[in-house]
Chains A and B, each alone.
Chain A
Amino acid sequence: MDHKTPIRQFLRDLLARKSDGQPFSDDSSLLISGRFDSVDAVDIVVMLEEKFNIDFAEIGFDQSMIDSVDSIDSLIRSTHAPKPCEGDAEERREQTGHVSKS
Chain B
Amino acid sequence: MNVNVTMTTESPADFRESMPASFRLIPRIETFPKIVSFAQTPVGKLVLLAIFGVGLWASDIDWLPLTFALLIITFIPSKRRLLVTICTLAFIFLVPSIHGPVPLSIVITFLQVFALAAVLFWCAVRWPRSLYGRRPIIFLLCAFWVFIELGTILPRNGRAYILLWQFLFILSTYIWFIGYSLLDANSPNHDNFALQLGVYSPFWGSSNTPFPKGASYLRKIEARDAEQLAVTQLKGLKLLAWSLLIFLGLRWSNSFFHDYLRIPTFAEALKLSVQRQPLPWYGCWGGLIFSFFIGLMNISVTGHRIIACCRMAGFDALRNTYRPLSSVTVAEFFNRYYYYFRELLVEFFFYPTFLRYFKKSPQLRMAAAIFAAASFGNAFYHFTASLDFVRVYGLWRALMSFQVYFFYCVLLAAALTMSTLRQRRKVHPGFLRSRLLPATSVVLFYLLLDVFGSTEHKYSLTEHFRFFGHLFFLNL
> Known pairs A28-B4, A34-B13, A37-B14. 19 more at Cβ < 8 A?
A18-B14, A19-B16, A27-B1, A29-B7, A33-B9, A34-B9, A34-B15, A35-B14, A37-B12, A38-B335, A38-B342, A42-B354, A45-B355, A60-B186, A61-B351, A62-B186, A62-B216, A64-B220, A67-B1
CB contact between A62 and one of B3, B9, B187 (< 8 Å): that residue = B187
Asked if residues A29 and B355 are in contact (CB atoms below 8 Å), the reply is: no
Asked if residues B318 and A34 are in contact (CB atoms below 8 Å), the reply is: yes
Q: Which residue of B lies closest to A60 (CB)?
A: B186
Q: Contacts A32-B220, A56-B355, A57-B356 hold; do A22 and B15 have CB atoms under 8 A apart?
A: yes
B289 in the interface (beta carbon within 8 A): no
Q: List the B side residues contacting A49 at CB < 8 Å.
A: 359
The B interface, classified by DSSP as helix, strand, loop or mixed, is helix
The A interface, classified by DSSP as helix, strand, loop or mixed, is loop
How many Å lie between the Cα of A28 and that of B220 in the bound state?
Answer: 12
CB contact between A19 and one of B14, B346, B362 (< 8 Å): that residue = B14
B191-229 interface with A by 8 A CB criterion: 216-217, 220-221
Asked if residues A32 and B359 are in contact (CB atoms below 8 Å), the reply is: no
Q: Which residue of B lies closest to A43 (CB)?
A: B424
Q: Contacts A18-B15, A39-B420, A62-B216 hold; do A33 and B355 have CB atoms under 8 A apart?
A: no
B331 in the interface (beta carbon within 8 A): yes
Q: List the B side residues contacting A76 at CB < 8 Å.
A: none
Q: Which residue of B lies closest to A28 (CB)?
A: B4
Residues of B within 8 A of A (CB): 1-4, 7, 9-16, 18-19, 183, 186-187, 216-217, 220-221, 318, 331, 335, 342-343, 346, 350-351, 354-356, 359, 362, 366, 369, 420
CB distance from B325 to the nearest CB of A (A): 18
Q: List the A side residues contacting B356 at CB < 8 Å.
A: 57
Interface size class of A (residues with CB under 8 A): 20 to 34
How many Å lie between the Cα of A39 and that of B334 in the bound state?
Answer: 12
Q: List the B side residues contacting A46 at CB < 8 Å.
A: 362
Asked if residues B14 and A32 are in contact (CB atoms below 8 Å), the reply is: no
CB distance from B99 to the nearest CB of A (A): 37
How many Å lie between the Cα of A28 and that of B5 in the bound state?
Answer: 10
Q: List the A side residues contacting B9 at CB < 8 Å.
A: 33-34
How many Å lie between the Cα of A34 and that of B302 in the bound state?
Answer: 20
Asked if residues A32 and B355 are in contact (CB atoms below 8 Å), the reply is: no
How many Å lie between the Cα of A19 and that of B326 in the bound state?
Answer: 15
Q: List the B side residues contacting A15 at CB < 8 Å.
A: 15
Asked if residues A29 and B3 are in contact (CB atoms below 8 Å), the reply is: yes
How many Å lie between the Cα of A20 and that of B8 in the bound state?
Answer: 13
CB distance from B458 to the nearest CB of A (A): 34
Q: Which residue of A lies closest to B9 (CB)?
A: A33
How many Å lie between the Cα of A60 and that of B124 in the bound state?
Answer: 14
Q: List the B side residues contacting A71 at CB < 8 Å.
A: 1
Would you list the 6 A-B pairs with minimal beta carbon distance, nearest first?
Answer: A29-B3, A20-B15, A56-B355, A38-B346, A18-B14, A57-B356
CB distance from B303 to the nearest CB of A (A): 15
